[in-house]
Structure 1
């Protein structure tokens, strides 16, 4: 496939000229353009508009060609890819599941040699086009291979400093898959083979994956990184470095210019003592990455907080000193879930509703009591240490994101 014949200079200029337009409206309004395939141009405009937020550095290159929607959806963001690049180093790097090559670029750009492997020919050609421009002048030796990852690893005699793999998470019917054994390649089944080819292995997995189950399948893993952006878990990363050290779990909330981290070992979490208390002056809701990481006891210990209940992952204290890895709420009062009470307290019906270990979901509460998210206050419904439920009116004290 000669991409330059399809994405020629005139088409790419047309894309740049219409970047701020709605691609669908553009197709309806402009029926033809001499020498330009409008459907291809419209797709590039749509993908570039997505890339402006997800991959701003790449979007700054007018010559970069973007892939179909599914590949754009599945690829890492610039933030998460840059985070992965900080976890590994060396001279030789292989990406076994190259895809759109976002991780290939960000992880590999500090290496001397990069090997990109991908089973879809179209994505290989896109990577060839894009990486040659993004890596220009860096003196990196780049090899692009069209093939199956396990077959390549079985045949190659090469050894790599770092091996990265992001197993495909779509089934034959395009359904989403989460468990390691259901993904391609199956890293647990092929662990010995992969480990023999690299000093360091970095595995990207779905945020839906059960971490403890994965660790049973991959017992040699040294670090687990739970990565979130805007308080939404985006990636689980499993790092093997061959060191004889306790497993470390790192929960990271990524911002554009900073990162907030909380780390612990499984032994620290197991041995941490938990204090329980009824609500005090402040409530703390840890970041989603911390909860996904399973730091239910060590979080309270680290910040000197008590839990409301073993299964209510809300923490409380009368004093909050310094920044904390989560949202901090000041408790104003306890309310009853009663239409008259809520109408008097929130005449416009605006209040943000959160639930933790509570019989009803936020949407159910909002529907029943005619509430809608908004305003500066929160209703936090939860179960307390005595097993009783409570609804607390709060205001946000610290956002920390």
Structure 2
């Protein structure tokens, strides 16, 4: 672990040797003492990733202890999106500060902000970074286990919104990741009970692994008001739980479910519903594919809000379990992939026998189809390339079918 003065010097060397390959920096002749060379090399090595993932923080010249800290941190778009949960009058407590990316974003909105981190190296990095990221305001930095000093923090600051990103760990044998909430730290259920005992009516914003099952989470976690699936450019990054201890517990099916996809500049496209509304929404099925085919983005697919999406956009699906939509007119703002239908090909030997000759290459996808994409590609002998997409799917009448489509950008 380095002191703030040492970190400052490491960052100076990073600027001075920015064009030097990290390997040459470690082994070659230069003015950097050998003790600090690994840290300087790490900073130089991470600059491209830092600039892509956190451009605003990169411009401020932040220090990163290890590459894994940057890999595990939120991206800038998803961090800034969390500002929507914070009010200007809020006192924000981040119990799992880490690299401080989410804290940096949310603290811009809150009246007061408290950062807590128990890892010494991460705390030292944030002690250097956060004053540079928030030059016009004071942030409170605490080093320690937030669960151990919870009462002290509450007595002094009375936070109105508490942010928690429970650490996922490997199981005892180190063979697989653990995604159950109760196996993460800090323990969310214990935290909720302790806040109740302290009569602290705070809101909690909890970041969880996208691997968690949403319905199971809703059944076992009290006081949830909203769960949000957050994707960035089509890839699901996190689940967010909004818990409000001021409000009574809702039934699982009454909790707001929101599926959000953020584009490259952080613009959000969302679908919002509840499981009651989802179940009550009519299932619209098209008897045949129409001119355009739509595939929902990953956030919607994770949320399961298929009927709600069809109802909100007045779109019919191809089959109850296919989750592909179709229309005669192009819906340009559909939240997901948009394709123009070129041809409907029955999945029968006679129809697909000569397909390779006239379609030597195409992307392939399968939705509710008796074969996986790799197996279908092998059967057809089509190369994975080109501007078309061949979708193996099942239609309303139960027939396995191939849809040849052109991508719409």
- TM-score scaled by length of structure 2: 0.88
Contact 1:79 1:254 in 2 (8 A): yes
Residue among 278, 283, 303 paired with 1:274: 283
Aligned to 1:315: 325
Aligned to 1:34: 31
Contact 1:15 1:41 in 2 (8 A): yes
Aligned to 1:375: 386
Aligned to 2:255: 247
Report how many aligned residue pairs link the two structures: 390
Please tell me whether residue 50 in structure 1 is matched to residue 49 in structure 2.
yes
Aligned to 2:238: 235
* Superposed displacement of residue 184, structure 1: 0.8
* Superposed displacement of residue 337, structure 1: 7.4
* Superposed displacement of residue 393, structure 1: 0.4
Query: Could you list the per-position Cα deviations for residues 333-375 of structure 1 after superposition, in whole angstroms to 9, with x for gaps in the alignment?
Result: 123476752322223xx31111112232223333444433322
* Superposed displacement of residue 110, structure 1: 2.3
**Structure 2 runs not aligned, ≥5 long:** none
Q: 1:8 to 1:163 in 2, by over 3 A?
A: closer
Aligned to 2:359: 346
Q: Which moved more, 1:364-373 or 1:83-92?
A: 364-373
- TM-score scaled by length of structure 1: 0.89
Query: Could you list the per-position Cα deviations for residues 209-263 of structure 1 after superposition, in whole angstroms to 9, with x for gaps in the alignment?
Result: 1111111112421111111111011111011234568522221111233221111
Contact 1:378 1:395 in 2 (8 A): yes
Residue among 326, 333, 357 paired with 2:336: 326
* Superposed displacement of residue 18, structure 1: 4.5
Residue among 350, 371, 377 paired with 1:360: 371
Aligned to 2:271: 262
Please tell me whether residue 211 in structure 1 is matched to residue 253 in structure 2.
no
3-state DSSP of counterpart to 1:329: strand
Contact 1:162 1:198 in 2 (8 A): no
Query: Could you list the per-position Cα deviations for residues 2-50 of structure 1 after superposition, in whole angstroms to 9, with x for gaps in the alignment?
Result: 43454353x43442245466534x347x523113433221111122221
3-state DSSP of counterpart to 1:7: helix
Query: Partners in 2 of 1:365 and 1:21 — Cα distance?
Result: 48
Q: 1:22 to 1:261 in 2, by over 3 A?
A: farther
* Superposed displacement of residue 135, structure 1: 1.1
Query: Partners in 2 of 1:198 and 1:96 — Cα distance?
Result: 16
Aligned to 2:189: 188
Aligned to 2:400: 389
**Structure 1 runs not aligned, ≥5 long:** none
3-state DSSP of counterpart to 2:105: helix
3-state DSSP of counterpart to 2:334: coil
Contact 1:354 1:378 in 2 (8 A): yes
Query: Partners in 1 of 2:400 and 2:20 — Cα distance?
Result: 51
Q: 1:393 to 1:103 in 2, by over 3 A?
A: same
Q: 1:253 to 1:390 in 2, by over 3 A?
A: same
Query: Partners in 2 of 1:162 and 1:91 — Cα distance?
Result: 7
Query: Partners in 1 of 2:289 and 2:167 — Cα distance?
Result: 44
Q: How large is the Cα RMSD of the aligned pairs?
A: 2.3
Q: 1:298 to 1:13 in 2, by over 3 A?
A: same
Q: 1:290 to 1:238 in 2, by over 3 A?
A: same
